[in-house]
Amino acid sequence: MTVTVTQPDRADVALAALCGESRTTVARWLNAGLVFRNNTALKPRDKVCIGDVLTLDPPAPQPSEILAQAIALDIVYQDRHLAVINKPAGMVVHPAAGNREGTLVNALLHCMEDLSGIGGEVRPGIVHRLDKQTSGLLVIAKHDAAHRHLAAQLQNRTCSRQYLALARGSFSRMEGLCEGPIGRHPSHRQRMAVMPDGRSATTHFQVLENFTHAALLACKLHTGRTHQIRVHLAHMGHPLLDDPLYGIGKGERQMLHAWHLSFVHPDSGQTMAFSARPPEDFIRRVAGLGQSPWTERLSLDNPAVPIL
């Protein structure tokens, strides 16, 4: 398998983005001498440049020991290459310490025979993630070629991921970009923060309606950092409503929904677009902020939200 570097970075960072893999897994491949540039094995900290062709021979995925569970899923679309899932709030995407069961992966293993192996035993088919308490759309790869194609679109920013958000306070600007590098918070390890030495991150936002003490936003990711929208809005002084990690108070879940997803199909080459109405708790929260046409609009199967 070969991949072409699209932006200069460390070998582990660049390869993880191109393959849709974790840096831990990619670093394991690099340290095992499985990744080459011009017949020279690379190490995780080696620098790679735009246009470099990397050859890798990752080990075959081991049979999954993750429990397949009969958990109902909202499958928006599927074919032999991929599936689009509308994930509910409260569901973890893949197993980890403390969440070995009840995850999206547990459910996928029960209802789909084939998933890409690039994600390894714990993350088969997982191209990108949503936070546990974020609802909405994500795409699943059913084989490795589809996974690489979709991961490259994420890396090259040619797919579109758009969200609905409820944020604290009224906005003076009706549209704008929040640009700030994101890294691990120096003292609160569960949190991310805008940090000088963080990874570049850009979020486009548009105010759909200003309420008295909150605002309904449409947000588009130009990058995909951990907790990106949550971090950027909090950094602007507008944390998501009910966000227990970055907001004020003890809400059950942040008011964030991945409502729109579009990408190029890895086999047909056609652009595919999907939308999903927000769940009832989100709509009730909008209704509780005051009279607004958005309460009814968001209740439609195809929400009348502008595409950013």
Tokens of 123: 């993350």
Instruction: State how far the Cα of 144 lies from the Cα of 213, in Å rounded to an integer.
Output: 46
Q: List b or e across 189-211, with b for residues whose CB sees 16 or more CB atoms inside 10 angstroms.
A: eebbbbeeebbebbbbbbbbbbb
Of all residues in the chain, what percent carry a pLDDT higher than 70? 94
pLDDT for the residue 84: 97
Residue 107's SS3 state is helix
pLDDT for the residue 110: 87
Does the pLDDT value for residue 69 go beyond 80?
yes
The more confidently predicted of residues 21 and 6 is 6
**Helices 23-31 and 11-19, interaxial angle, to 10°?**
120
pTM above 0.85, yes or no: no
The more confidently predicted of residues 65 and 169 is 169
Q: Which domains does the chain have, with CATH numbers?
A: 2-56 (3.10.290.10), 74-156 (3.30.2350.10), 160-260 (3.30.2350.10)
243 catalytic per annotation: no
Residue 128 backbone dihedrals phi, psi, to 5 degrees: -150, 170
Q: Span 15-34, mean pLDDT?
A: 81
Does the pLDDT value for residue 229 go beyond 70?
yes
- Choosing from 9, 74, 131, 144, the catalytic residue is 131
pLDDT for the residue 122: 59
The predicted-structure confidence for 165-206, as pLDDT tens digits, reads as follows: 999 999 999 999 999 999 988 888 788 999 998 889 999 999
pLDDT for the residue 21: 73
Residue 11's SS3 state is helix
Does the pLDDT value for residue 209 go beyond 90?
yes
pLDDT for the residue 263: 97
pLDDT for the residue 86: 97
Instruction: State how far the Cα of 230 lies from the Cα of 257, in Å rounded to an integer.
Output: 12
Residue 223 backbone dihedrals phi, psi, to 5 degrees: -135, 175
Quickly tell me which residue has 């540039």 as its tokens. Answer: 37
Residue 82's SS3 state is strand
CA-CA-CA-CA torsion for 140, 136, 111, 125, nearest 10 degrees? 20
CB 183 within 8 A of CB 193: yes
Of all residues in the chain, what percent carry a pLDDT higher than 90? 52
Q: What is the DSSP string of 174-228?
A: SEEEEE--EEE-SS-TT-EEE-TTSB--EEEEEEEEE-SSEEEEEEEESS--TTH
The predicted-structure confidence for 90-136, as pLDDT tens digits, reads as follows: 999 988 767 778 899 999 988 887 787 766 665 678 899 999 999 99
Give the angle subtended at the CA of 54 by the CAs of 64 and 6, to the nearest 5°.
100
The predicted-structure confidence for 136-160, as pLDDT tens digits, reads as follows: 999 999 988 899 899 889 888 899 9
pLDDT for the residue 24: 78
Does the pLDDT value for residue 62 go beyond 60?
no
Q: Span 11-39, mean pLDDT?
A: 83
The more confidently predicted of residues 303 and 223 is 223
Q: Which helix (H) or strand (E) holds 56?
A: strand 53-56
